[in-house]
A and B are shown apart, each in its own frame.
Chain A
Amino acid sequence: MPVDAEAVVVSNTRLPGGYSVLEFRAPELAALAEPGQFVMVRASRCDAPLLRRPYSIFDLVRDPDGRPAGFTLLNKRVGVGSGLLYDAAPGAHFCCLGPLGRPFTLVAPPVEAWMVAGGVGLAPFATLAPALAARGVATTLFYGGRTSADIFCLDRFERHGVRVVTATEDGSLGERGRVTVPLQAALEAVPPERAVMVYACGPEPMLKAVADLATRFGRPSEVSMERHMGCGLGGCYSCVVRVKTQDGGSRYARTCIEGPVLRGDEVLWE
């Protein structure tokens, strides 16, 4: 069950490109969180903005004794709410409702984990990577952005032994092109007897491309969907995504409670 934590900003680290990493102290929420889950953040106590916005939980923070102490969010300054978060000073309070949503399915060896991230879509993988590392899963991160300014926090992954492959559309870091270029090459190269699970988070065209590639190469995939969300609890029916049904039809599923993580081959991409 989620809690509405009065989360206190511990630090707000600005990154290039309008991104920042906010660390919050919220032990009760952190104790419940699993990789791929999200929180609904209320950026203002007034009506501007009125609604909360969903954020993937980025890192889980532990105190020196190893107990859950808080979490971080990866924020990109876009509108009013994300601007308030970008400007937040240590000591500021924000109501954070969570953890919410269906987490990623954790694979176990010998299955390998390939995480595919675009831009702020990196966020859920910072908790997925250590959870997989703890199980001894061999993990690769395919990380794409428009330019090198969209690529950051690689140390968080390398420290857990994650192999990192980067791609930028302007070629300023890693391979030139979309992240699906190195992903497709890897899917072509890996022998069929090596089991691979593909996890993806990022812009929807990227998710569709990754899910289609995984399916084409016979690999299972899970995608973390982003939608306009009103409540995060299944009350408003705003955040729907079209999914296939067993009878060959389709229906709208609420990403807040049936997702945000869905099977890539289950989504009916628009």
Chain B
Amino acid sequence: MGVDLSVQLGPLRLKTPLMSASGCFGYGVEYAGVVDLASLGAVVVKGLFLNERDGHPPPRIVETPSGMLNAIGLQGIGVHRFVREKMPELRQLGATVIVNVCGTTVDEYVEVSKVLSDTEGVAALELNISCPNIKEGGISFGCSLAGTRRVVSAVRRATRLPIIPKLTPNVTDVASFAAAAEEAGADAVSLVNTFLAMAIDVEARRPKLSNGMGGLSGPAIRPIAVRMVYECARLVKIPVIGIGGIVSAADVLEFLIAGATAVQVGTANFVDPFIWGKLEAGLRSYLERHGIPRVADLVGSLQTGSAR
């Protein structure tokens, strides 16, 4: 039985629900030698500001139980170099490109979005209002409902591309942020970004990361992420993209059943860059085993009544 893995993300049709998570896949081109980029639902590239950014000094990552902390600090080449140096190769490779847009001000989000709107081959914009590792911008917008509305509505006025605010879990009620993004004109929301966290070297009595704190990702956060996706999907009508600790097809299914239309994979891609084919095969085999023709039929199919 052939099964249909395609999903509809607002105005955007994706071949599969599997996307790379921003910050975990470079600019995509780094992986061209090991992954057929065109086979992914979308390649979400590393967050871009208007200008180049240095990022934090190393050490930038540390492993923690079933996960890792990172404080990269959004090192990046800036949107203009990305358009010039990376987009031609991404287009040639047939990738569906979603660009993660960063800003220290609302104006910067708008400017970056305008540049990308004028760039052939960009399929959608993911708005990074949730990076825990930088001082200005990012999470400071994503931690306030007013800030979230301001960024999303300003970008909404500046582009016709689908916009996908990426939400932080470092708030009391993430679903209210999904609703605020929806009201402000978002086409979808993605969640979760990393959890602000810390690890300490007890011998030296110093933080293990040079930046002090960092963002926790990996399987450790998955159950919390699934809960948050479930809450958001119940509240908003726009599609939800689930992110958080996916390492297997069963994990993908968990997010889809909870209400995610698509998912992003981050940390697990570090462990296994060949994971994409395995996830896709696992999805197909599940759908065949359950006689479900379309993966989209699974979205939000959680049964909450009594099993008997």
Interface residues of A (CB under 8 A from B): 1-2, 4, 42, 47-52, 95, 97, 227-228, 230-231, 233-241, 251-252, 257, 270
CB pair B61–A2 under 8 Å, yes or no, is no
CB pair A235–B31 under 8 Å, yes or no, is yes
A-B contact pairs, 25 of them (CB 8 A): A1-B33, A2-B33, A2-B34, A4-B274, A42-B272, A47-B65, A47-B66, A47-B67, A48-B65, A50-B218, A51-B61, A52-B270, A95-B272, A228-B58, A228-B62, A233-B273, A235-B24, A235-B26, A235-B273, A236-B24, A236-B26, A236-B61, A236-B72, A237-B75, A270-B57
B85 at the interface (CB under 8 A from A): no
CB pair B24–A252 under 8 Å, yes or no, is no
Interface SS of chain B: loop
Residues in A neighbouring B46, C-beta threshold 8 A: 237
Which interface residue of B23, B66, B270, B272 has the most chain A CB atoms within 10 A? B270
Residues in B neighbouring A270, C-beta threshold 8 A: 57
On whether A231 and B33 interact (CB within 8 A), knowing A237-B60, A240-B60, the answer reads no
Q: Smallest CB-CB separation from B46: which chain A residue?
A: A237
**CA of A230 to CA of B214 in the docked complex: distance in angstroms?**
14
Question: Which one of A1, A48, A230 contacts B61 once the chains associate, using CB atoms below 8 Å?
Answer: A230
Closest CB-CB distance, A65 to chain B, in whole Å?
Answer: 29
Closest CB-CB distance, A96 to chain B, in whole Å?
Answer: 12
Q: Smallest CB-CB separation from B270: which chain A residue?
A: A231
How many A-B pairs fall under 8 Å by CB? 95
CB pair B63–A251 under 8 Å, yes or no, is no
Residues in A neighbouring B269, C-beta threshold 8 A: 231, 235
Closest CB-CB distance, B264 to chain A, in whole Å?
Answer: 13
Closest CB-CB distance, A46 to chain B, in whole Å?
Answer: 9
Closest CB-CB distance, A99 to chain B, in whole Å?
Answer: 12
Q: Chain B: interface residue count, which band?
A: 35 or more
Q: Smallest CB-CB separation from A257: which chain B residue?
A: B30
Residues in B neighbouring A237, C-beta threshold 8 A: 23, 26, 46, 55, 60, 72, 75
Residues in B neighbouring A257, C-beta threshold 8 A: 30
CB pair B33–A238 under 8 Å, yes or no, is no
Q: Smallest CB-CB separation from B76: which chain A residue?
A: A237
B39 at the interface (CB under 8 A from A): no
Residues in B neighbouring A52, C-beta threshold 8 A: 270-271
**CA of A234 to CA of B33 in the docked complex: distance in angstroms?**
12
Q: Smallest CB-CB separation from A255: which chain B residue?
A: B58
Chain B contacts with A in 1-53, Cβ cutoff 8 A:
23-26, 30-31, 33-34, 46
